[in-house]
C-alpha cells in the first residue's frame, strides 16, 4: 500500500504538475456491473501501488515522501509508512546511500534528469540485484524544484542473460578458453601496450597434428576430451598476462609477451610448449601421443596490426606442417608470395566488373513452420576468364581492402532489386531479397542514396529488400551505426545481423538496433548434432531473438537432424543445402512457381 506523509510535500495550490497526473477531484468510474466513486488522487495511488516497478518521491533532503509496494521488496520493510521521512542511509548499505544522495542532490541542483542508470543494490536479505533507475526533478506550480520522482526496475535477470550470452560469444564452451573474437580484441590491446613500451609480442598459431585421425577413430566425445586436456596444458604453461585461445576445431592461438621478472624467455616457452604437447595424454585409459605444428609472427618485424600478424603466423604454421609437423617455424617474407597474386586479382576485378564476369546466385530462405520460401539471399560469384570460378572468400577481402567493395556492392544491390522485381512482374509469389552489406559500404556518405536509387530504378517496394550486416559494423562505431541503420529502416528496408554470435555486441546495444532478424552463423549449425557448445549458442541466440521479438534464421543447414534440432528449439527460419544450394534466377523462378501450384 502506498503511504503518504501527514504533511504534504506541497500545499494544495502547489500540487506538482506531472505528465499523466490528474487533479484530485472526484471521478465516477462506471461502465461495468458496479460504479465506483473515488478521488482521482486515490485512484492514482492505487494504480501506482500495483505497478511492478519501484516508484518513489523524495523531498529536497532526499527523504522519502511517497513509496509504492514494490519498494518494500528491496528495503525489506513490510509497511510503506515506516519509510516516510527516512533516507537511504536508514534503509540501505552506506556506500550506496552516499552515492545516491550525492546524485539526487546534483539532480535537484541542476534540474537535469538522470535516466536508466544501472545501480548494483544489495537487498536487506543480502541478495545482489541490479536496478535500472530514472530520477526526474519534481517541480511545483511555479516551476521550483521541491524534490524528485524516481522509477526503478529490477534488471537482474536481464543482466544475467547478457552476461551468459557475452560468455557464449567470447569463450569456447568446450575448453573455456577465449574464442577468436575475444582473442582478436586482446591482441589489439596487447599491440597498443607493446608499442607504448617498445616490447616484443609474439603471435603463435598452433595446430594439433593428425587430430582428424583421433576424431575418426575415437569419436567426438573422446576427441573433445583430448582438446580439453590440451587446453589445460597450454593454459598452465603461460604467464597470467598471456592469452591462449581456441579458434577452431584443433586450432589454437597464443599471444606471448615480454614480462618483467619472468624467468622464462619467449623462445624457451615455445620449446617447452612443443615438449608439453608431445607428452602422452591419457585418453580412454590409454596413452595417446600427439604433436603440434606452430607458426610464429613477431611484432613489429612481421606486422604491426592484428590481421597481419595472425595471417603471417598462420602462413608460418602451414610451413611447419609442410616441414614434417611437430615443429615450429618463424614467419619469413617469402611466405607471402601471395601478395603479388592479390594485386593481380585486384586489377582483374576492376576489369571483370565492366566485362560482366560477375553473377548473382540466390539461396532460398525457408519458413520452418510452413516449409515455404519467404526470401532469398543474393550471393556473388566471379567467373574469371582464365582462372575459372573464384570463391568469394578469396576476392571479397581483396575488394574490401582495395575499396572495390563499394562498386561491387552497388552492382549487387541494383541487380538483386531488379531481379526481385522481375520475379514479381512474372506473377510469382513475393519474396524478400537479402543483400550482404560490408562495414565499408555502411560508412559511405552516399550509401542511403544508393539504396534509394536501386529501389527507384528497379521499381521494387522497399519492404521486399533486406540488408544483412555483420556485428563488426556495430562494434566499430555504435552510435553512428545506430543512426545509419535507423535511417535505412525508416526507408522501409528490413535489416538483419549476419553471422550472429561470432562477434560480441552487447544486448544493451542490440536492443537499440532496428532489426528484423538474427542469423545464426553456419559455424554453430554445422556441428549441432555432435557439439554441445554449438547447440548451446544456437539455442541462446534463438531465445534472445524471441526476447527481442526478432525472427531467427539459421544458415548452413545441411541435414535433416540439424533442421529437427532447430525446429525443436523454435527457430523460425533456415537456409542451406538441405533445402537448396545457391542457384541462378531461373531456378528460383521455378521453385517459386511450384509453390503457386495446388497441392
Domain parsing of the chain, residue ranges: 12-154, 162-336, 359-377+399-596
Provide the pairing of β-strand 328-330 with 292-299.
parallel
How far apart are alpha carbons 382 and 380 in whole angstroms? Answer: 7
Q: Is 157 exposed, middle or buried (0-12, 13-18, 19+ CB in 10 A)?
A: exposed
**E strand or H helix at 130:** strand 128-139
Residue with cell 523524495: 58
Q: Which of 20-24, 355-359, 521-525 has the lowest mean pLDDT?
A: 20-24
d(CA 442, CA 430): 27
pLDDT at 385: 92
> 255: helix, coil or strand?
strand
Pairing of strands 517-520, 551-555: parallel
Note the helical H segments in 62-219: 69-75, 88-91, 94-110, 156-170, 180-197, 211-218
Specify the pairing of strand 251-257 against strand 281-283: unpaired
Averaged pLDDT of the chain: 84
Region 321-347: mean pLDDT is: 75
Whats the size of the chain, residue-wise? Answer: 599
Is the separation of the CB atoms in 517 and 496 below 8 Å? yes
The model carries a pTM of 0.51
Min mean pLDDT across 25-29, 161-165, 256-260 is at 25-29
Most confident stretch, 109-123, 136-150, 342-356, 531-545: 136-150
Residue 499 pLDDT level (bands cut at 50, 70, 90): low
Residues sharing a CB contact under 8 Å with residue 467, sequence separation 6 or more, in sequence order: 434, 435, 436, 437, 451, 488, 493, 494, 495, 496
Checking if the pLDDT of 510 tops 60, the result is yes
**Average pLDDT over every residue of 93-104:** 90
Measured distance CA(550)–CA(513) in Å, rounded: 11
The predicted pLDDT at position 109 comes to 94
Q: What is the pLDDT of residue 501?
A: 57
Question: Which CATH number among 3.40.50.2020, 3.40.50.720, 3.20.20.220, 3.30.70.270 corresponds to the domain 162-336?
Answer: 3.30.70.270
**In whole angstroms, what is the distance from residue 109 CA to residue 144 CA?**
11
Q: Which residue has the higher pLDDT, 535 or 77?
A: 535
Question: For the domain 359-377+399-596, what is the CATH code?
Answer: 3.20.20.450
Assess contact for 310 and 181: CB atoms under 8 A: no
| Distance (Å, whole) CA 444 – CA 473 | 12
% of the chain surpassing 70 pLDDT? 87
Residue 289: C-alpha distances to residues 187, 286, 449 (Å)? 31, 10, 60
Other residues' Cβ atoms within 10 Å of the Cβ of residue 553: 29
Give 29's pLDDT tier (boundaries 50, 70, 90). very low
Q: How many CB atoms lie within 10 A of CB 483?
A: 10
User: CATH homologous superfamily of domain 12-154?
Assistant: PAS domain (3.30.450.20)
Amino acid at each position: 500500500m502506498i503511504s503518504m506523509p501527514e504533511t504534504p510535500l506541497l500545499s494544495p495550490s502547489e500540487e506538482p504538475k506531472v505528465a499523466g497526473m490528474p487533479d484530485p477531484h472526484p471521478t465516477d468510474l462506471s461502465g461495468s456491473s458496479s460504479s465506483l466513486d473515488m478521488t482521482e488522487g486515490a485512484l492514482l495511488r492505487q494504480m501506482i501501488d500495483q505497478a511492478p516497478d519501484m516508484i518513489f518521491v523524495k523531498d529536497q533532503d532526499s527523504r522519502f515522501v511517497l513509496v509504492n509496494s514494490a519498494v518494500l521488496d528491496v528495503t525489506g520493510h513490510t509497511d510503506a509508512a515506516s519509510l516516510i521521512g527516512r533516507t537511504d542511509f536508514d534503509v540501505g548499505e552506506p556506500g550506496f546511500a552516499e552515492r545516491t544522495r550525492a546524485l539526487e542532490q546534483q539532480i535537484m541542483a541542476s534540474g537535469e534528469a538522470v535516466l536508466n542508470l544501472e545501480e548494483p543494490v544489495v537487498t536487506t536479505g543480502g541478495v545482489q540485484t541490479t536496478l535500472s533507475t530514472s530520477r526526474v526533478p519534481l517541480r511545483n506550480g511555479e516551476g521550483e524544484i521541491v524534490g524528485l520522482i524516481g522509477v526503478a526496475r529490477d534488471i537482474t535477470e536481464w543482466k544475467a542473460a547478457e552476461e551468459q550470452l557475452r560468455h557464449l560469444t567470447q569463450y569456447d564452451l568446450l575448453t573455456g578458453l577465449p574464442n577468436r573474437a575475444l582473442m582478436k580484441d586482446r591482441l589489439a590491446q596487447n599491440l597498443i601496450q607493446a608499442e607504448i613500451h617498445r616490447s616484443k609480442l609474439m603471435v603463435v598459431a598452433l595446430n594439433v597434428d593428425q587430430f582428424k585421425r583421433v576424431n575418426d577413430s575415437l569419436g567426438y566425445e573422446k576427441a573433445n576430451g583430448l582438446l580439453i586436456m590440451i587446453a589445460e596444458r597450454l593454459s598452465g604453461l603461460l604467464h597470467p598476462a598471456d592469452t591462449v585461445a581456441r579458434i577452431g576445431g584443433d586450432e589454437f592461438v597464443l599471444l606471448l609477451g615480454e614480462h618483467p621478472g619472468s624467468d622464462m624467455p619467449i623462445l624457451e616457452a615455445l620449446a617447452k610448449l612443443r615438449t608439453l604437447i608431445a607428452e602422452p595424454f591419457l585418453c580412454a585409459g590409454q596413452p595417446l601421443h600427439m604433436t603440434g605444428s606452430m607458426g610464429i609472427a613477431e611484432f613489429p618485424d612481421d606486422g604491426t596490426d592484428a590481421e597481419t600478424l595472425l595471417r603471417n603466423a598462420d602462413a608460418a604454421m602451414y610451413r611447419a606442417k609442410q616441414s614434417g609437423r611437430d615443429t615450429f617455424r618463424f614467419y619469413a617474407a617469402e611466405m607471402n608470395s601471395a601478395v603479388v597474386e592479390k594485386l593481380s586479382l585486384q586489377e582483374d576485378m576492376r576489369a571483370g566488373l565492366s566485362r560482366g564476369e560477375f553473377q548473382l546466385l540466390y539461396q532460398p530462405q525457408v519458413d520452418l513452420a510452413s516449409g515455404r520460401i519467404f526470401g532469398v539471399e543474393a550471393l556473388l560469384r566471379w567467373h574469371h576468364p582464365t582462372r575459372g570460378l573464384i570463391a568469394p572468400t578469396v576476392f571479397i577481402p581483396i575488394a574490401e581492402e582495395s575499396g572495390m567493395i563499394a562498386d561491387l556492392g552497388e552492382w549487387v544491390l541494383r541487380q538483386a532489386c531488379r531481379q526481385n522485381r522481375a520475379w514479381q512482374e512474372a506473377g510469382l509469389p513475393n519474396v524478400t531479397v537479402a543483400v550482404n552489406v560490408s562495414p565499408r559500404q555502411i560508412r559511405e556518405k552516399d550509401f542511403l542514396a544508393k539504396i534509394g536509387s536501386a529501389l527507384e530504378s528497379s521499381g521494387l517496394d522497399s519492404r521486399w529488400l533486406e540488408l544483412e550486416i555483420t556485428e563488426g559494423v556495430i562494434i566499430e562505431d555504435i552510435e553512428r551505426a545506430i543512426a545509419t541503420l535507423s535511417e535505412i529502416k525508416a526507408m522501409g528496408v528490413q535489416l538483419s545481423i549476419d553471422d550472429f554470435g561470432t562477434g560480441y555486441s552487447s544486448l544493451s546495444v542490440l536492443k537499440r538496433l532496428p532489426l528484423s532478424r538474427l542469423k545464426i552463423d553456419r559455424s554453430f549449425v554445422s556441428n549441432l548434432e555432435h557439439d554441445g557448445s554449438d547447440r548451446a549458442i544456437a539455442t541462446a541466440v534463438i531465445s534472445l531473438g524471441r526476447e527481442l521479438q526478432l525472427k531467427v534464421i539459421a544458415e548452413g543447414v545441411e541435414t535433416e537432424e540439424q533442421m529437427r534440432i532447430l525446429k525443436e528449439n523454435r527457430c523460425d527460419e533456415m537456409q542451406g543445402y538441405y533445402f537448396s544450394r545457391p542457384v541462378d534466377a531461373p531456378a528460383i523462378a521455378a521453385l517459386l512457381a511450384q509453390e503457386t501450384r495446388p497441392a
